[in-house]
């Protein structure tokens, strides 16, 4: 009876020891994975911030290019367009 009792106790202790080691390994893996994911999150946040800055610059550029004065200047200088004289303008009613 004593041999069986000490053998069961050894199996229980071994099982608990394996459980503790497995739990520790799991905790270490989870902490490592959390750090990897945090680094990835920070990288993506930096990328998002850079894209926000670029988007703002593109919006400013678009608003500058779409102003009436800019379009008129490009039409007159590069395309050599001019406003027709008032007598050559015809208004068509819908």
C-alpha distances in angstroms, 34 versus 2, 30, 31, 37, 45? 47, 6, 5, 5, 16
Q: What is the pTM of this model?
A: 0.59
Tokens 């610059």 correspond to: 57
- Dump the DSSP string for 33-81: HHHHHHHHHHHHHHHHHHHHHHHHHHHHHHHHHTSHHHHHHHHHHTS--
From first to last of its 94 residues, the chain has per-residue pLDDT tens of: 566 788 999 999 999 999 999 999 999 999 999 999 999 999 999 999 999 999 999 999 999 888 888 888 888 999 889 888 989 888 888 7
């Amino acid at each position: 009876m004593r041999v069986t009792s000490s053998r069961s106790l050894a199996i229980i202790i071994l099982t608990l020891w394996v459980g503790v080691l497995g739990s520790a390994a799991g905790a270490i893996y989870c902490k490592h994975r959390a750090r990897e994911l945090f680094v990835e999150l920070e990288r993506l946040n930096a990328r998002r911030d850079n894209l926000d800055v670029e988007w703002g610059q593109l919006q400013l550029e678009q608003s500058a290019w779409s102003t009436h004065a800019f379009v008129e200047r490009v039409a007159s200088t590069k395309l050599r367009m001019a406003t027709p004289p008032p007598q050559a303008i015809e208004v068509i009613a819908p």
